Structure 1
Amino acid sequence: MTFLTNRFYSLIGFEIHVKLATKSKIFSKASALPARPTNTQVSLLDMSVPGSLPYLNRSCLEAGIRMAFGLHCSINKSSFLERKHYFYPDSPSGYQITQQRKPYAFNGFLEYPLIAKRDRLQAKYVPDKKEIIKKCRIDRIQLEHDTGRSIHDEHDQRTLIDLNRSGTGLLEIVTHPDIRTSVEGESFLRELNRLLIAYNICEQSGLETPVRVDANVSVHEKNTKPTGFRVEIKNISSFVDVKNAVDFELKRQERMLLNAQPLCSETRTYDSNKRQTIHIRRKEEKIDYCFMPEPNLPPLYLYDDNDIMPTNNPNYINIDEIHRQLPLSPFKQREQMQIKYKDFLTTEHIFDLLRYEMMDYFNELMALVEPSDINRQHLILEVLLDDVKRMTWGGEKMNKFVKIIKPELFLHIIDYLERRIITRFSLYEILLISYKNKQPDKSLEQILNDNNLVGIVDNEKLVPMCQQVIDDNPKLAEKYKTNPKKAIEQLRLAICKQYPGRIHNDLVIDIFTDILNKQSS
């Protein structure tokens, strides 16, 4: 987003809540699996039954440590949990167990590539252009539990409570206001999401949104210091909505400043249907949540290889052991990819694969191809960034595509293309038919035969076909004597129109040239 004038700058920070991919909740044995019937995954602790006590799920803390390493954070080897008191209908206890004064991780950062749609770029991406790698500082990461879910029944004018979500483990990641535009914000969140999945911290099940974002946005006049106000946009559940919400809010605040209207700290929500933020309440004074140490949970103790473990207590966690088991981060994976596929893969290609949500699919395809077969690797990349991009609306439907066109089927089609059973012009049509195929058992051979898409490679067939096209276009045969290149191109177009998707360009060009040369001599 660009401002209407050049008078302002923006500060954008995020509070990101990540649902942890654990089988049970953070402080009880109740299941944390998504999309189950209402109130079927509720423990006594989730209902705040007197006498029920919490105990820490070790896997939640381990996931948090993986996130801390992924975000290059410093780690507190001793931290504690606290109660944050507030009343809300879907929180029966009247408080949330969280970390406020001493989180387990702090002072980190995330480097991320600035990814935008091609038509939104002010300049074309070029290899090794350093400005497209951005960096956002991480203020803190803390463990906490989620609340229940309010279900508003408009018909009976009542609100129902589902406690399935209550007590599920969350990581809250708080950033510094280092982000300046909505595109930067969306790019940061997408890179963070790639890291979360790579480190098995959250999962993309499609049943529930594993990441919820609160965006803090403020606009200020250039050459002035921030005034301290901020607008918080609560509970945004998709990265596209984050971008649209920030865009709207920046424009709204800019208009108010241009009209000399005062800006104040407030909480807003985002309506994705109207594509606008809506006022909820003002932040006139800081709320006192009466934080106090959680009396029923011990401190969190961590140690590394250099420490002497003070006890055999299994609740002590070796952070170096977790660090050794971490896979490569997506950022490091891309660096290695560029080295591994240096013969054909550029920085711009990598950003395009990210931009169109094709990176994982590309890696799956490369794993099935011989490392020495550079021609096939390059052809796969070309097809992805051309045919597949068009078919998936610039990556918007890529998730559906990868579920239907498995890597094995995609490579089968590529194999047919290399063997000249199909043509480069029919490839898009074949992918589209396979994508929309309502008979999944139908083989590729059946699809080709049913749609008459088998390429013609037999010279005994091609020569009379080309001769017939020349006979039907005598003016082009005459034109060949004065402008052979243009005549051949028009003849090629004519035969391609007559036999759509079945003509190999190089074969008919050679045949046309040979026939016309013989006629001219």
Structure 2
Amino acid sequence: MLDQSVRDKYTVVVGLEVHAQLLTKSKIYTSDSTAFGATPNTQVGVISLAHPGTLPKINKQAVEYAIKIGLACGCEISRENIFDRKNYFYPDLPKGYQLTQDKTPICLGGNVKVKTSEGEKTVILNRIHIEEDAGKSIHVADTTDTLVDLNRAGVPLVEIVTEPSIRSSEEAQAFLTEIRKLVRYLEICDGNMEEGSLRCDANVSVMPKGATEYGKKVEVKNMNSIRNVQRAIDHEAERLITLLENGEEVISETRDFDAVTGTTSGLREKEELNDYRYFPEPDLSPMIISEEWIESVRASMPSLPSELFLKFTEKYGLPDLDAGVLTDTKAMAMFFEELTNHTKNYKAASNWIMGPIKSYLNEKSEEIESFPLKAEQIAGIIDLVDEGKVSHTAASQQLFPAMLENVEKTATQIAEEQNLLQDSDEGAIQSIIDEVIAELPDKVKAYKNGKKGLLGMFMGQVMKKSKGKADPKVATQLLNKSLSK
């Protein structure tokens, strides 16, 4: 581990390349299925294999998905798009080239705002472009063979490329988290890094504090979680600083990340300029995106996490913490929105989602989509508590669990069946208070002589005699009044 004083001499510079598999039912240039988990090499056809005489045709939905993420990131949408052949050899690239966008990416510029421990940061984007995925090489343990599955070849991707504007692993983690949230809100990618549908390569370099010229960068691959991206950047930054401190040269190379050891190892040296011999795809005409098309896509977009965060804090008056949790997933945000249609106690609605509901979901390892109760039923619990008919303790510890066992019933029905409704009748409660005071004359005398802490004991006796049904607010008011006589 480097001493912090040594680390502080350098600035870490990170640029990310994020590949998101688009949730289309067919591939980007052909009708082959994109279903995950199929038997290897059963979802590949002659177009994906570039057989002579075959012609690709662009998947319109893939284009619309790319426009959506571009609009969400504030990018400029290119009106004229040309597709290019990116030539390189790879065992699982069946055509010998990849169809991508070189000179005319569909989205230019843009940015993503992220929250870090140092406050809000802005990650600047260079571009977002459309391309096709390659197949998948599978290395079997204890064998020298490599198996190739071409089912993934031709699956549509968007590649989100940042400028080298990220200055820490925390910022990179926050950016990836926000991108994953965005693609899930837009429903264009499931964001599952463990399945490879969201992948990230990190370009890392370091330079002395105050320098204006970036250091030599290394590219780190094979990070299958957001946490591992952060770990890889931290390790690589420390390795590069150590090299510079020891007077050694940094080699521009591609490195592999080992999640077990948390270290990287060299794969191959990088050329200063990769010669992919790009040239325009002759079998695809230029794609023109009209203003009408862009506006129709914009009109179909849902509210974005940042918009909902603002709405939840400003319109509903929730703290930033609550709004952050509630907008973590689209489904959670929509459940809260539905709940606000049935109750105006927005903070209570947030508390119920963040408390009992999330605890239930965590215990079951489920998402909010699987929650068995409707928003209207949760609102019914909130109403009973607000009206003083059920205590919050009884609501969370007895009523809520009982409703989960009887999902077709309302909060009121369960409260009545479980005998949880509180008694707010002042006459009945006063009668119980009179009994308690009459039974404890010594305690009453002590209370009047200054031992005000005995009030809790009196309340306990009142609740006991009422079998927990006395409204605590009413009981407290009446008890204070009786003891002050």
- Distance in 2 of aligned mates of 1:462 and 1:322: 62
Assess if the C-alpha contact under 8 Å between 1:21 and 1:203 holds in 2: yes
Counterpart of 1:91 (choices 90, 93, 97) is: 93
Name structure 2 gaps, 5 residues minimum.
none
1:457 counterpart letter in structure 2: D
Q: Which residue of 1 aligns with 2:157?
A: 170
Deviation per residue, 1:439-459 (Å, 9 max, x gap): 676857799789978354366
Q: Which residue of 2 aligns with 1:278?
A: 264
Which letter maps to 1:380? A
The one-character-per-residue Cα deviations of 1:46-90 (angstroms, maximum 9, x if unpaired) are 344444332211222222222222222233332322222222222
Are the counterparts in 2 of residues 453 and 501 from structure 1 also a CA contact under 8 Å? no
**Equivalent of residue 366 in structure 1, options 318, 331, 337:** 337
Superposed, which structure 2 residues align to 1:74-113 within 5 Å? 74-110=76-112, 112-113=113-114
CA contact (8 A) 1:455 1:501 kept: no
AA of the residue aligned to 1:100: D
Q: Say whether 1:350 aligns with 2:323.
A: yes
- CA separation of 1:319 and 1:370: change in aligned 2, threshold 3 A: closer
Counterparts of 1:424 and 1:405, CA distance in 2: 21
Q: Deviations over 1:120-160 (max 9, x none)?
A: x57xxxxxxxxx43322111111110111223332655432
Task: After TM superposition, list the pairs within 5 Å mapping 1:61-72 onto structure 2.
Answer: 61-72=63-74
* Partner SS for 2:267: strand
1:15-164 aligned at under 5 Å gives the runs 15-110=17-112, 112-114=113-115, 121=117, 132-154=119-141, 158-164=145-151
Structure 2: how far apart are the matches of 1:161 and 1:46?
Answer: 14
Q: Deviations over 1:195-250 (max 9, x none)?
A: 32343432468994532111222233212234432232224343333334334434
Preserved contact between residue 233 and residue 277 of structure 1 (Cα < 8 Å): no
| 3-state SS, counterpart of residue 181 of structure 2 | helix
Pairwise CA RMSD: 4.1
Residue 367 of structure 2 aligns to a residue whose secondary structure is: helix
Deviations 1:409-452 (A, max 9, x none): 433433443354542224443588479x6x67685779978997
Offset, 1:19: 1.0
Q: 1:336 to 1:475 in 2, by over 3 A?
A: same
Partner of 1:378: 347
Change (3 A) 1:455 1:227: same
My pick for the range that moved more, 242-251 or 100-109, is 242-251
Residue 411 (1) aligns with residue 369 (2): no
Deviations 1:499-520 (A, max 9, x none): 9997864244335435544xxx
TM-score (norm: length of structure 2): 0.81
- Measured in 1, the distance between the counterparts of 2:123 and 2:200 equals 16
Instruction: Name the SS of the counterpart of 1:218 in structure 2.
Output: strand
- How high is the TM-score relative to the length of structure 1? 0.76
| Structure 1: gaps (5+ residues) | 116-120, 123-131, 306-317
Q: In the comparison of the two structures, how many residue pairs are matched?
A: 479
More displaced, 259-268 or 227-236? 259-268
1:26-46 residue CA offsets vs partner (Å, 9 max, x unmatched): 011111233333333222223
Contact 1:426 1:501 in 2 (8 A): no
Change (3 A) 1:320 1:378: closer
Q: Share of identical aligned residues, percent?
A: 27
1:454 paired to 2:420 = yes
Bigger drift between 469-478 and 24-33 goes to 469-478
In structure 2, C-alpha distance between the alignment counterparts of 1:452 and 1:53, rounded to whole Å:
68
Q: Secondary structure at the match of 2:277?
A: coil
Distance in 1 (alpha carbons) for counterparts of 2:401 and 2:142: 44
Q: Distance in 1 between matches of 2:382 and 2:28?
A: 47
Which whole-Å CA distance do the structure 2 matches of 1:461 and 1:253 have between them? 77
In 1, distance between residues paired with 2:288 and 2:98?
21
Q: Is the 8 A contact 1:79 1:103 kept in 2?
A: yes
Find out whether 1:322 has 2:322 as its counterpart: no
Q: Is the 8 A contact 2:124 2:165 kept in 1?
A: yes
Q: 1:271 to 1:455 in 2, by over 3 A?
A: farther
Distance, in Å, in 2 between the alignment partners of 1:384 and 1:483 is: 42
